[in-house]
């Protein structure tokens, strides 16, 4: 039997409803059962982390619905589960549960929970064999639990790069055209590429080095395409389960306009890491002509593909309020609002950017660590800082890893994630960022794991 498992789509709803009724009839030994009501399955079709997995053999023969919860700890709950009679006892149930468990790991969940009727002895035996144990007695039902094994902490303690590469991580601050490894690019170009001087003398030093030393090797449309491909190749290699990558309007135009560009990027996503949650971000340089760009922005946003907006480049080029026309547009399209602030700038810049533009995330934002008040503000308002340690060190904004402000931010309960920024320049892949902070004693294994999980799980705001 050659069944395959996939994520359900709205077109599967009819079959899922039938399978649910079949399951109820089997459990209660009567045809007098009530299936799903209108709209009961809508929560699986909207943009939420909830999922239904189906097994298909010509047609859908089984399904398992999965809800994502965060209380009291991040976990998934296996809700409804049905395998049609002719397909039972063939391993389909186990395969669906394994798929759900792998999903839990990808989104940083700590456990899988489910209910089983006390009278359903075969189901109880099945779950026990699959590693589940009784967590709570809920009257007629038992709540069963299985912890997701945590290999990340172990791999970090062992400083085992190979193992770290296989564990789901996120990268939420990634400039796509500089998102590939230098060694990957060198291999594809069959050329030796130069290493940057350290430190690079700030953002201007970095841009100057990139323009003069590296860009001549990978310039023009062809060069950009290759670098984009390399960014997705790295997401695959490093098991990036959630990837937020930013793209400039000028790069989109260079690729041939939004439609051609989108097809290209989706092609790389499909080819390299189709299971990765991919959240494209539209970014503008801080010296852009805001009113000109605000006129044009609908063309990029209309299709609903972009998930967030960002301003990058030099800080304080223009007053923060000058960007409001772009952020108002972004709001119309329900984008997550982010901005680069507080790398070279101050704690006050971070707070002002958040307040003036309604940001929910800040790229860098490390200067907030100099102000207790700003950190309290960020923590209270659940503002996330997408921190890039190697970028900060190599550009000379932070002395070294051991004194990196991420520690102060974590100690002050600011939500942070760890990211690569410009991998092509800084040459520190995501697992290496975690390793560097661990080796330097900046953060503990458990703190680093918390950060990893936060990055995986915060793509969905409930």
Question: By CB under 5 A, which span of 1-9, 134-142, 401-409, 421-429 interacts with Zn ion?
Answer: 421-429
- Closest approach of Cβ 360 to Zn ion, in Å? 17
Stretch that binds Zn ion, among 85-93, 128-136, 407-415, 418-426 (CB under 5 A): 418-426
85-104 as b/e, with b when 16 or more CB fall inside 10 Å?
eebeebebbebbbebbbebb
Cβ 375 to Zn ion shortest distance, Å: 21
Residues 6+ apart with CB under 8 A from 193: 182, 185, 186, 214, 217
Distance CA 228, CA 175 (A): 10
CB of 181 to Zn ion, least distance (A): 17
CB of 421 to Zn ion, least distance (A): 5
Q: Return the residue of 315, 421, 431, 449 that touches Zn ion, per CB under 5 A.
A: 421
Please answer whether residues 130 and 94 qualify as being in contact, where contact means their C-beta atoms are separated by less than 8 angstroms: yes
CB of 173 to Zn ion, least distance (A): 6
- Residue 421 gets which letter from DSSP? B
Q: Which is nearer to Zn ion, 234 or 421 (CB)?
A: 421
> By C-beta, is 80 or 421 nearer to Zn ion?
421
Alpha helical stretches, state H, 339-462? 347-357, 372-380, 389-394, 406-411, 423-426, 430-439, 445-457
Q: Which residues of 26-35 are buried (b: 16+ CB within 10 A; e: fewer)?
A: eeeeeeeeee
310 touching Zn ion, by CB under 5 A:
no
> Given the complex with Zn ion, which of 61 and 409 has the nearer CB atom?
409
Decide whether 146 or 404 has the Cβ nearer to Zn ion: 404
Strand-pairing partners, residue 386, are 363, 417
Closest CA to 57 of 13, 14, 4: 4
Do 285 and 248 touch, CB atoms closer than 8 A? yes
Q: Which structure tokens are listed for 147?
A: 């912890």
CB of residue 207 vs Zn ion: minimum separation in angstroms? 12
Question: By beta-carbon distance, which residue lies closest to Zn ion?
Answer: 421
Bridge partner list, 77: 67, 113
Least distance (Å) between residue 244 CB and Zn ion: 11
Minimum Å gap between C-beta 313 and Zn ion is 9
Query: Binding pattern to Zn ion, positions 375-414, x when CB under 5 A?
Result: ----------------------------------------
Of 188-196, 252-260, 293-301, 416-424, the window that binds Zn ion (rule: CB under 5 A) is 416-424
Return the H-helix or E-strand segment holding 136.
Answer: strand 133-138
Nearer to Zn ion, 48 or 207 (CB): 207
- The answer to whether the beta carbons of residues 140 and 114 sit under 8 Å apart is no
C-beta of 204: minimal distance to Zn ion in Å? 14
CB-based contacts of 132: which residues, under 8 Å, 6+ apart?
112, 114, 144, 145, 146
Q: Which listed range, 118-126, 315-323, 374-382, 419-427, lies at the site for Zn ion (CB under 5 A)?
A: 419-427
Shortest reach from residue 225's CB to Zn ion, in Å: 21
* 361-377 CB burial, b ≥16 within 10 A, e <16: bbbbbbbbbebeebbeb
The span of 14-22, 138-146, 345-353, 420-428 binding Zn ion (CB under 5 A) equals: 420-428
Whose Cβ is closer to Zn ion: residue 361's or residue 421's? 421
Q: What strand order describes the sheet that includes 75-83?
A: 4-7, 51-57, 59-69, 75-83, 111-117, 141-147, 133-138
229 or 421: whose CB is closer to Zn ion? 421
Cα-based angle 100, 106, 111 (whole degrees, multiple of 5): 60
Contacts with Zn ion, residue ranges (CB under 5 A): 421
């Amino acid at each position: 039997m050659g069944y395959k498992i996939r994520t359900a789509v709205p077109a599967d709803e009819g079959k899922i409803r039938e399978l649910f009724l079949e399951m109820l009839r089997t459990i209660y030994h009567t045809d007098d059962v009530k299936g799903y009501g209108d709209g009961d399955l809508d929560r699986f079709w909207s943009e939420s982390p909830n999922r239904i997995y189906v097994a298909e053999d010509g047609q859908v023969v089984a399904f398992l619905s999965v809800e994502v919860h965060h209380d009291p700890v991040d976990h998934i709950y296996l809700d409804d589960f049905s395998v049609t009679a002719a397909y039972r006892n063939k391993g389909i149930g186990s395969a669906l549960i394994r798929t759900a468990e792998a999903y839990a790991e990808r989104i940083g969940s700590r456990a899988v929970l489910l209910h089983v009727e006390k009278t359903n002895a075969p189901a109880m035996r099945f779950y026990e064999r699959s590693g589940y144990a009784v967590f709570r007695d809920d009257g007629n039902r038992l709540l069963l639990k299985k912890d997701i094994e945590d290999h990340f902490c172990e791999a970090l303690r062992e400083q085992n790069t190979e193992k770290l590469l296989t564990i789901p991580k996120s990268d939420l601050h990634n400039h796509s055209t500089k998102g590939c490894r230098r060694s990957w690019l060198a291999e594809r170009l069959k050329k030796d590429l130069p290493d940057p001087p350290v430190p690079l003398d700030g953002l201007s030093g970095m841009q100057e080095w990139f323009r003069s030393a590296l860009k001549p090797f990978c310039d023009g449309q062809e060069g950009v395409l290759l670098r984009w491909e390399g960014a997705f190749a790295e997401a695959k290699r490093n098991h990036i389960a959630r990837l937020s990558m930013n793209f400039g309007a000028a790069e989109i135009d260079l690729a041939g306009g939004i439609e051609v560009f989108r097809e290209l990027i989706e092609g790389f996503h499909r080819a390299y890491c189709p299971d990765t949650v991919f959240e494209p971000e539209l970014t503008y340089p801080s010296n852009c002509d805001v009113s000109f760009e605000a006129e044009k922005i609908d063309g990029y946003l209309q299709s609903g593909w972009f998930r967030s907006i960002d301003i990058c480049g030099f800080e304080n080029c223009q007053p923060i309020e000058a960007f409001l026309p772009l952020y108002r547009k972004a709001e119309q399209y329900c984008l997550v609002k982010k901005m680069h602030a507080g790398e070279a700038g101050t704690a006050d810049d971070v707070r002002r950017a958040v307040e003036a533009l309604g940001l929910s995330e800040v790229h860098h934002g490390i200067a907030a660590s100099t102000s207790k008040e700003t950190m309290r503000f960020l923590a209270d308002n659940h503002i996330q800082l997408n921190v890039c340690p190697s970028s900060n060190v190599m550009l000379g904004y932070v002395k070294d890893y051991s004194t990196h402000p991420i520690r102060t931010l974590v100690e002050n309960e600011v939500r942070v994630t760890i990211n690569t920024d410009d991998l092509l320049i800084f040459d520190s892949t995501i697992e290496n960022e975690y390793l560097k902070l661990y080796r330097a004693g900046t953060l503990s294994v458990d703190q680093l794991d918390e950060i990893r999980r936060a990055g995986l799980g915060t793509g969905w705001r409930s």
